[in-house]
Amino acid sequence: MRAVFRTTIRRFARDRRGNIAVIFALACVPLITVVGCAVDYSRATQIRAKLQAAADAASVGAVAKASPGFAAAGTMTSDGGIPAGVTDAKNIFNANVANLTGYTLNSVTPTVVKSGSTVTSTVAFSASIKTMFLGVIGKTALTMTGTSTATASMPLYIDFYLLLDNSPSMGVAATPADVTKMVNNTSDKCAFACHDYNDSNNYYNLAKTLGVTTRIDVLRSATQSLMDTAAASETYSNQFRMAIYDFGASSKNIGLRALFSLSASLSSAKTAAGGIDLMGVYGNNDSYTADKDTQFSTVFPAINSAITAPGAGTSSAPLKYLFFVSDGVADEYNTGCSKPLVSGGRCQSPIDVSLCTTIKNRGIKIAVLYTTYLQLPTNSWYMTYIDPFNKGPFGPSPNSEIADNMQSCASPGLYFEVSPTQGISDAMNALFRKAVADARISG
C-alpha cells in the first residue's frame, strides 16, 4: 500500500500538463496590458490629430486676409495683441471640433499679435482622453497637447508721387501713324503739337482737329487707368496714397506743380488726372523760358523736398515711391550740361542721373516709365541736337543715352520703356504692379 502511495506521489510530481494553463493565465495580464495600451494610445492619437487639425485651421484662419484679425491689424498704428483675432481663432477651433467626442478639452489658448508688418497667430490646446484598458495599471486618462503657429505678411502702405513730364516734347504724336499724319498736314513737316497760346492755329489745336493722339493724351488716360488699378489692388481702403505733379501749366509759371495733393482717395486722384495737359508756351523762343521747358535740374530737387521721409510700410509710416514718366530729355538753362550747349546756356541732354541718385539715397524708390523719344528725321532741330544721343531704336542700348540714363535713374527692377507700338496705360499699370511687388520683397 505504501508502495502504491509513493508511486502515485512521484507521478503527480512529474506531471507537467496543468502548467500550460497556469503559465497562460499569468501571461495574460501583461499581454492584455500591452494590447490595451496600443488601443488606448491609438485612439488618443486619432483624437489628438483631429484637435491638431482644428488648431491648424484656427491659426491659419485667424491671419487670413479676409479675417477680422487681419483687418484689425491694418488699423493699428503700433505693435500688440489683436483681440478680434483671438476671438476668431477660438471660434474657428470650436467649429472644427463641434462633432468630435471621446475627450475633455482642458484649454484652448489663441494669441494673435502684430509685430511690424507681420501678424502671428498661435493656438495651443490641452485635452484629456479617458482610457479603457490602461486603468488596469492605474492610468485612467491620457493628456494630449498641441500648438499651431501661422504668420502672414501685412500689405505694405505705399505713397506714390507721380511726376509726369508735360513739357512741349510730350506733344509729339503718340504713334508712327500719328507722326505721319502731323507731318503730312504741317507746312514745316512738324510732328510736335505745340501748345502756343499766342497762336489760335497752333499745332496743338490742329492735332485735336485731325484726331491725332499725342503722348500727353495717352498719359492722361493712362494715369486715370492707374488709379483704377491701384484701387483694385488694395487690401485696405487706404493702403495706397497718390500725389500727382507735373512741370507746370505754362512757360510763364514753369516749375513743379501739384495737380493733386497726397491722398488715399483714389477716385479723387482719377478725377484730378483728367486735368493733365500739355504745357503751354508763348510763341517760338518765348520771353519766359526761351523754349527751355523741361527743367529737370529744378523739378527734381523740388519733388525731393515734397516727398517726406519714407517709413517701414505701416499706415503711420508708409514706403515712398516716385513714379516718373518722361521722354527723358532735359531742355533747360544749365551751364554744367553734359552735352554741347545750344546757345545762351541752353542745355538739351539726357537726364542727369545724379538727380535721381539724390532721391534714392534717402530710401525712396524710383519707378521710371520711359516714353521713348521718337526719332524725327524731318525735324532739323531734332537731327542736330537730339539725334546724336538718341541713336538706339527702342530699348536701352549703348547708342541711346536717353534710355540708358532713364534706366539708371530707376531703382533696380523698376524700369519700363514703352515704344510707339505699345500702350502707355498697360505699361503704367505693369510698372505699378512691379512697384507693389518690389515693396513686398524689400519691405
Mean pLDDT score, 138-162: 89
Q: How far apart are CA 334 and CA 355, in angstroms?
A: 13
Q: pLDDT tens, 233-265?
A: 998 888 999 999 999 998 888 999 999 999 999
pLDDT band at 442 (very low <50, low <70, confident <90, very high): low
Higher pLDDT, 79 or 7: 79
pTM for the whole structure: 0.75
C-alpha cell of residue 53: 487639425
Domains of the chain: 20-153 (no CATH), 158-442 (3.40.50.410)
Q: How far apart are CA 317 and CA 31, in angstroms?
A: 68
DSSP-H helix ranges across 366-423: 380-381, 401-409
Report which secondary-structure segment, H or E, holds 99.
none
Q: How is residue 385 annotated by DSSP? A: I
Q: pLDDT tens, 49-98?
A: 999 999 999 999 999 988 999 989 888 878 899 999 999 999 999 999 99
Q: How is residue 309 annotated by DSSP? A: P
What is 73-98 written as a DSSP string? HHH-SS-EE-HHHHHHHHHHHHHHTT
The angle at the Cα of 205, spanning 202 to 207, to the nearest 5 degrees, equals: 105
